[in-house]
Amino acid sequence: MRYILKAYEMKMYDGDTIERIGIPSMVLMERAALSVIESLSERNLMPQKVLVVAGMGNNGGDGLAVGRLLAEKGAEVAFYMAGNPDKMTEETRRQLFILKNLGFSIQSKLELAEYDMVVDALFGIGLSRNVEGEYLTLIREMNRLGKKGAFLLSLDIPSGVCADTGRILGEAVQANLTVTFAYAKRGHFLYPGREYTGKLMVKDIGITESSFLKGRPGAFCYEKEDLHRLLPKRKPWGNKGTFGKVLLVAGSYDMCGACVLCGKSILRAGAGMVKIITPSCNRIILQETFPEAMLYTFEDKPHMEKVKNSLDWADVVVAGPGIGMGNGTKELMEYLLKDKRCPMVIDADGLNLLAAHQDLFELAAERGEGKLVITPHPGELLRLMKMDMEVYKEDREKLIFTLAKGLHCVVAAKDAVTLVAENGREEIYMNTSGNDGMATAGSGDALAGIIGGLLAQGMDCFFGACLGVYLHGLAGEEAAGKKGRYGMTALDLVKELPFVMTFYGPN
Ligand SMILES: NC(=O)C1=CN([C@@H]2O[C@H](COP(=O)(O)OP(=O)(O)OC[C@H]3O[C@@H](n4cnc5c(N)ncnc54)[C@H](OP(=O)(O)O)[C@@H]3O)[C@@H](O)[C@H]2O)[C@@H](O)CC1
Ligand SMILES: Nc1ncnc2c1ncn2[C@@H]1O[C@H](COP(=O)(O)OP(=O)(O)O)[C@@H](O)[C@H]1O
Ligand SMILES: [K+]
C-alpha cells in the first residue's frame, strides 16, 4: 500500500519533520538530491553533459544540489536559474552559495548547446498558477531538447503539472523519469499529469509516517506486493459453499455476453458458485459457453417466488449488467433491493434504473452501510447525480463522495484512474493498475463480477471493491502484454485473472 499525497499534505509532513522532529531542511534537500543520483545509477544513467533548469523555490534548490552531485561524478554541468532572485528560498540561496564557492557559475542566458540530460527543477509542488512568459519558454525549450534526444529528468514532479489534480497549468515538461521525494503525489497518477511523469521513482528522504499528525493522507493505492496480504485466504478444508454463492442478475434478449463475462469473473475471482437470473432466450448459449453456472431463466417476467428462493440461497447479489431498462426490470430491482440481507453490487443498467426511479434510489440508500457497492462509469455516475460532464471534470472526487453519502454505499467510480470511496471514510482509493486496452466492451461487467466474487469470500465492501479494481487492472495489464492494447477483449482480461491472483497471491 502506498499513500498518494496532495501538495498541502506533503508540506505539512515536511514542516513537521523539520520543525518538530528537527531534521534540518538542508539535510532533507541533500538527501533528496542524493536519492536522485541513486535513482540514476539504479537505471544505469550517468550523463556526461547536463543542463539544470532551476526555479527560485526549493525545487530549484534540489536541482542545484543534483547538478553539483553530478559534477562530482564527472559530468559537465551547466546551470540556469529563472525567476525573481528576491523570491529565492533560504535553502536554494544556500545551494547557490555552495555552487559559487565551488567555482560554478549560473548562465545569464540559456545556452542552447547539446545536452544528454536536462534536469527540470523549475517548479515542484509549489506550482500555484498557469505558467507564462519566461517559464513557458523554458518548459518548451526543455521539451525541445528532449525531442532532440536529451533525457528529461524531472525533480519531484514535471514542471507545469499540478500536484493535486494532474492538470497541466499552461504547459508541462514531458519527463522521461520523475524522481519524487518521500511520497507520490496525486498529479503523478491522475491524467494528464500521468502522461508527463514518465517512469516514476519514489525515494525516501527521511520524512516518515510519524509526521502524519492530523491523520493519514487522503488517498492510497495498492501495489503488487500487497496482494499476499490482501487476497482472501483459501481455506484448505473449504467446500464450494465456503467460498460463497453469488446470485447474478444479468443479461436480456439482446445481451447475453454480460452474463458470461460477469459470471465467469465471479468464479475466477474465487467464489464457489454462481447462479444467473436471465431471460430464457439466453439459456442455451449459457449452458454451452458457461456450464459452471446455475440458471433461473424466465419467459416474460421473472416469478418473484423463484427470485426469492435464489435470494435466500445467495451470499452476495450482483445486479445490472446488460439487463436493460424495460420489461419488469424495475420490479426485479425493487425486489432485490428490498432484501437487505446480503451485500449487493449494482452495475450498468441496474444503476440506470436507480437514476431513472427515485424510489429505487431511496431503496438502495436504505440498504445501510456495508451492504452496497456501485460501479458506475462516468456516464452512469452523472445520470445518478443528475449532473453534466463539466461538473465531473471540475471536481470528480467531490461528486463521488456526495454519491457515496447519498446512497450510504461504496462507489467504485470507473475511469482511466478508478477511484473508490465509501460513505463515512475520509480516504479514497486511487487505482494505478490497468491501461487503455481495457476501454473495451464488457470490461466493466468483468469488474462487477470480480468485486462480487471477492465479497462472496467474506471481504468487506470497501476493501473488496478496492482490491477488485486493482486486480481487474492487473489482469488488464496481463491481457495487454499478450494480446496488445489494440486487440485485447474483456474475455482476455477475465482469462488472466487466475494468473494474477496466483502469481502475486498467497497460495
Ligand atoms: N521543504 C523541504 O524541506 C523539502 C522540499 N523539497 C522540494 O521543494 C519543493 C517545493 O518547494 P517550494 O514550496 O519552494 O515550491 P516550488 O515548487 O519550488 O516553487 C515555488 C516557487 O514557484 C513560484 N511559482 C509557483 N507557480 C508559479 C507560476 N505559475 N509562475 C511563476 N512562478 C510560480 C512561487 O512563487 P509565488 O507563488 O510565491 O509567487 C515560488 O517562488 C518540492 O517540490 C521539492 O522539490 C525537497 O527538497 C525535499 C525537502
Ligand atoms: N484508459 C484506461 N486505463 C485504465 N483502465 C481503463 C481505461 N479505460 C477504461 N478502463 C477500465 O475499463 C472498464 C470499462 O468499464 P465500462 O465503461 O463499464 O465498460 P463496459 O460498459 O463496456 O463494460 C473500467 O473498469 C475502467 O476503469
Ligand atoms: K520539477
Distance 314 CA to ligand 1 centre (A): 55
Q: Whose CA is nearest to atom 9 of ligand 2?
A: 439
Distance 475 CA to ligand 2 centre (A): 12
Q: Whose CA is nearest to atom 47 of ligand 1?
A: 29
Of 102, 6, 116, 125, whose CA–CA distance to 55 is shortest? 125
CA-based angle 248:250:255, to the nearest 5? Answer: 150
Task: Report yes or no on whether pTM surpasses 0.95.
Answer: yes
**504: buried, middle or exposed (CB in 10 Å: 19+, 13-18, 0-12)?**
middle
Which residue type is seen at 355? A
Measured between alpha carbons, how far is 309 from 316 in angstroms, rounded to an integer?
14
Q: Does the complex come out with an ipTM higher than 0.90?
A: yes
Q: What is the pLDDT along the chain (507 residues), one digit of tens a residue?
A: 999 999 999 999 999 999 999 999 999 999 999 999 999 999 999 999 999 999 999 999 999 999 999 999 999 999 999 999 999 999 999 999 999 999 999 999 998 899 999 999 999 999 999 999 999 999 999 999 999 999 999 999 999 999 999 999 999 999 999 999 999 999 999 999 999 999 999 999 999 999 998 889 999 999 999 999 999 999 999 999 999 999 999 999 999 999 999 999 999 999 999 999 999 999 999 999 999 999 999 999 999 999 999 999 999 999 999 999 988 999 999 999 999 999 999 999 999 999 999 999 999 999 988 899 999 999 999 999 999 999 999 999 999 999 999 999 999 999 999 999 999 999 999 999 999 999 999 999 999 999 999 999 999 999 999 999 999 999 999 999 999 999 999 999 999 999 999 999 886
Q: Indicate the top mutation candidate among 128, 130, 201 to test ligand 1's pocket, ranked by most ligand atoms within 8 A of CB.
A: 128
What CATH fold (topology level) applies to the domain 2-221?
A: Rossmann fold (3.40.50)
Are the C-beta atoms of residues 115 and 50 closer than 8 Å to each other? yes
Are the C-beta atoms of residues 181 and 156 closer than 8 Å to each other? yes
Are the C-beta atoms of residues 292 and 318 closer than 8 Å to each other? no
At residue 346, φ and ψ (nearest 5 deg) are: -115, 130
Measured between alpha carbons, how far is 335 from 341 in angstroms, rounded to an integer?
12
What CATH fold (topology level) applies to the domain 244-502?
A: UDP-N-acetylmuramoyl-L-alanine:D-glutamate ligase (3.40.1190)
In the chain, list all ranges with CATH 3.40.50.10260: 2-221
**70: buried, middle or exposed (CB in 10 Å: 19+, 13-18, 0-12)?**
buried
Q: Whose CA is nearest to atom 24 of ligand 1?
A: 127
CA-based angle 33:35:41, to the nearest 5? Answer: 110
Task: Looking at the CA of residue 155, tell me the nearest atom of ligand 1.
Answer: 45
Residue pointed to by grid coordinates 459453499: 241
Ligand 1 touching residue 28 (CB < 6 A): yes
Sequence-distant (≥ 6) Cβ neighbours of residue 15 within 8 angstroms: none
Distance 58 CA to ligand 3 centre (A): 10
Distance 85 CA to ligand 1 centre (A): 13
In the chain, list all ranges with CATH 3.40.1190.20: 244-502
- The DSSP H or E segment spanning 288 is helix 283-289
